[in-house]
Structure 1
Amino acid sequence: MVSLANGPFQCLTLSLLILPPILLTTYFLAAFPSPPEPLVIYPSLESLPKAHSSWEIYPEDFYQGGAYARFPYGKVRYWLIGPEDGKKVVLIHGLSIPAMVWKDVAPALASRGYRVLLYDLYGRGYSDAPSTTYSTALYTAQLALLMQHIKWDKAHVVGVSMGGAIAAAFTSQFPHLVEDRVVLIACAGMMDSSDLPRTAKFMSSPLVQTLTGSSLVRSYLQHLISSKGNTSLMVSAHVATEADNPEQHPLTGGGEAEATDPAKVFTTKEAGDGRIQEIVRIQSAHLPGYNAAVASSLRDGPIRGLTSAFADGDAWNNKRVVVIHGTKDNTVPYKYAARIKETIERAVGERNAGAVNVTVVTVEGGKHDLTVSHPKLVVDEISELFS
């Protein structure tokens, strides 16, 4: 009798002990989440003091016709040059160097009658750096919004390095915004991970970027830049040199590959008179969002993994494409020019039985900085294609 009487009592006691934590756990798990945090947007070169050397090297009015557009991911700096009734051409820069990389190409195209749109990608130059994943979609949406902002229905698209990959992805995702001519210069987008050095992968990791993005490290980099005696150190630490010996090039894992800036992977010492190298160093040291933007672009962006964009037969159908590539490009190896051509032609043939004209222009001895080292060749090829 005692056991029977105690049985229900014990069950009730046990239930009273167990139910409260279960109910509390259920409440907290089912509770409505907190509102999303606002997007953090880091400033651009515009934020630096007017006395800073950046305003001499790459001023806000580097090209005429400059303005800002405000989008959900921050302000974008753009320029429109050339006659308003000229054929519309968009120039897309690469991973680390802002729109100044077109300094010898854009004015020449404008003088030949083209209406040229240049702009800084998010996280570079005078465009803001949103704290987000720098995916292919971020870059293609940026251009689509910019074209809408300036009321362009269509344009010919030209991209260099990562900008070429963005151009290809843009053609695939927004074919209605792309005219029938596309130029891809030293084009990334189909790179194998094995062609990226271990150092670049390590330096672009989130942990390393957190450490190198600290105020202490950035203060140290700023000190190095302001020190006249540390020019060679900064070059080796932040800017890759396309050495004639591949074993000394960062892309092969040899030589002076240790750095805090993954941007060095796609920047060469041949790039101009030193101003381009300097602007890369300034961005790395003074812009809190720059290194993260470059690192995320390497990990998550259009440097690789875009085979599907080049294999979009519907998007490339009836297009004329010129692929310009140097045989000594140690950054995006020359082999990718042929791979891009084959991928596009195969896709158009299989899906549409249609027409596409892909021409590879080989620059013997050319390296990765073709818009700076061979601007006349680039301008002539663009003009011939668009004529």
Structure 2
Amino acid sequence: MVSNPFQCLTLSLLIIPPLLITTYLLAAFPHPPEAVYVHKSLASLPPDAKSWSIYPEDFYPGGGYVSLPFGRMRYWLMGPEKGQKVVLIHGLSIPAMIWKDVAPQLASQGYRVLVYDLYGRGYSDAPQTTYDANLYTVQLALLMQYLRWEKAIIAGVSMGGGIATAFTAQFPHLVDDKVVLIACAGLMEASDISRTAKFMSSPLVQTLTSSAPARKYLQRLIMKNSTAALAASAAPADKKESIVTEIVRLQSAHLTGYNAALSSSMRDGPIRGQAPSFSSDGFNDRAVLVIHGTKDNTVNPRYGSLILTLLPPTTRDRSRLITLEGAGHDLTISHGDDVTQAMLEFLKKK
């Protein structure tokens, strides 16, 4: 028992403050959640911006916008309305223009083709949030609901393949009996990502590169090195690739949410950790086409064959891997005709 008044006071000072703090923390009611801040898309740039000549809003026919909980997004519909439905999902940095040599050909063969810009790219807004698999799969699910599509064949390139995989695992009732994975990410390890990419995708660096002075510098640099925009439909393959590189630079320079979207996708997105999705029941009794280049320096070609081993047995027997000799990562640009032909043969097969 403490009898000394001084000791009593000291003991009270030691016990009471922590007790009050603990009581406050247990009883305090949280503040209401703040609304997600949304950065604008290419649609916000002035009409004379170079992006409008390289990648205009009407890049594909049948374009439209829809406002979803995380911002407004852009989509395009091609092909006959009663054709079999196919969704094409682009990858990490290049918006839907990457399907230019594939989507129109599928549409001309009678398929109803949906292409769209992922959040943070092209003409879709960039919510200030975590760009994980759930963000992307829910975006597509809500878009299909808006369009009243009950299900569709799902195809994705690069990170889009990882999204297609996660989507099949999470929303199998929205996926038809075929899935196409092109240069598919989803199984990458941290060791596959360069130190430079890891450094550039860190939150601190992205805060700096997304700042107004950094973007102004990039804008001046682009204007200094700018060349006349070439029509992609009439350009040889190397020119097409230069146009693609240009749209990446333009997004980085002019869109405040673009760099953050890319860096979060690198850290949190479906380029990694999708092994359980490939093995999930969502892939049961479906056929999967995997297309990969033998010289892919972004997603190692070994992942193409590994995907097949992860699929459920009922799917593995109906699936196949096509390797394009000497091809790199951006297959829909460098080998658009080969990809389209492989897809058409696969989609027509019973």
- Structure 1 position 33, deviation (Å): 2.5
Match of residue 55 from structure 1: 52
Whole-angstrom distance in 2 between the partners of 1:296 and 1:38: 19
Q: Output the amino acid matched with 1:87.
A: Q
Aligned counterparts, 1:260-339, within 5 A: 270=238, 272-312=240-280, 314-339=281-306
User: CA-to-partner distance for each residue in 1:24-56, whole Å, 9 max, x for gaps?
Assistant: 534642322322221111000011111111111
Confirm or deny: 8 A CA contact 2:151 2:176 kept in the other structure: yes
Confirm or deny: 8 A CA contact 1:188 1:303 kept in the other structure: yes
Aligned counterparts, 1:306-385, within 5 A: 306-312=274-280, 314-344=281-311, 348-349=312-313, 356-385=317-346
TM-score normalised by structure 1 residue count: 0.82
Aligned counterparts, 1:1-387, within 5 A: 7=3, 21-22=17-18, 24-26=20-22, 28-29=24-25, 30-228=27-225, 270=238, 272-312=240-280, 314-344=281-311, 348-349=312-313, 356-387=317-348
User: CA-to-partner distance for each residue in 1:44-76, whole Å, 9 max, x for gaps?
Assistant: 001111111111111111111111111111111
User: CA-to-partner distance for each residue in 1:321-373, whole Å, 9 max, x for gaps?
Assistant: 111111111111211111111111xxx23xxx677411111111111111111
Q: Output the amino acid matched with 2:206.
A: Q
User: CA-to-partner distance for each residue in 1:60-101, whole Å, 9 max, x for gaps?
Assistant: 111111111111111111111110000000000000000000
- Structure 1 position 288, deviation (Å): 0.6
Whole-angstrom distance in 1 between the partners of 2:316 and 2:323: 23
Q: Output the amino acid matched with 1:342.
A: T
Confirm or deny: 8 A CA contact 1:157 1:181 kept in the other structure: yes
May I ask how many residue pairs the two structures share in their alignment? 338
**Percent identity (aligned):** 58
Q: Output the amino acid matched with 1:330.
A: N
Whole-angstrom distance in 2 between the partners of 1:14 and 1:355: 72
Q: Output the amino acid matched with 1:57.
A: I
- Structure 1 position 175, deviation (Å): 0.7
Whole-angstrom distance in 1 between the partners of 2:56 and 2:260: 23
Q: Output the amino acid matched with 1:303.
A: I
Q: Output the amino acid matched with 2:286.
A: K
Partner-residue secondary structure (3-state), 1:117: strand
Change (3 A) 1:179 1:271: farther
Q: Output the amino acid matched with 1:25.
A: I
Consecutive unaligned residues of structure 2, counting only runs of 5 or more, are: 228-236
- The structure 1 segments of at least 4 consecutive aligned residues displaced by more than 3 Å after TM superposition are 6-24, 353-356
Whole-angstrom distance in 2 between the partners of 1:51 and 1:213: 22
Match of residue 231 from structure 2: none
Change (3 A) 1:270 1:341: farther
Q: 87-96 or 322-331, which moves further after superposition?
A: 322-331
Partner-residue secondary structure (3-state), 1:184: strand
Whole-angstrom distance in 1 between the partners of 2:315 and 2:264: 37
Confirm or deny: 8 A CA contact 1:317 1:355 kept in the other structure: no
Whole-angstrom distance in 2 between the partners of 1:10 and 1:317: 74
CA radius of gyration, larger in: 1
Q: 15-24 or 196-205, which moves further after superposition?
A: 15-24
Change (3 A) 1:190 1:9: closer
Match of residue 234 from structure 2: none
Whole-angstrom distance in 2 between the partners of 1:274 and 1:84: 34
Confirm or deny: 8 A CA contact 1:123 1:129 kept in the other structure: yes
Q: 12-21 or 361-370, which moves further after superposition?
A: 12-21
Q: Output the amino acid matched with 1:362.
A: T
Q: Output the amino acid matched with 1:61.
A: D
- Structure 1 position 12, deviation (Å): 6.7
Whole-angstrom distance in 2 between the partners of 1:149 and 1:218: 35
Whole-angstrom distance in 2 between the partners of 1:148 and 1:18: 59
Q: Output the amino acid matched with 1:275.
A: I
Confirm or deny: 8 A CA contact 2:153 2:175 kept in the other structure: yes
Whole-angstrom distance in 2 between the partners of 1:272 and 1:303: 25
Root mean square deviation of aligned Cα: 2.2
Whole-angstrom distance in 2 between the partners of 1:77 and 1:354: 33
Confirm or deny: 8 A CA contact 1:270 1:369 kept in the other structure: no
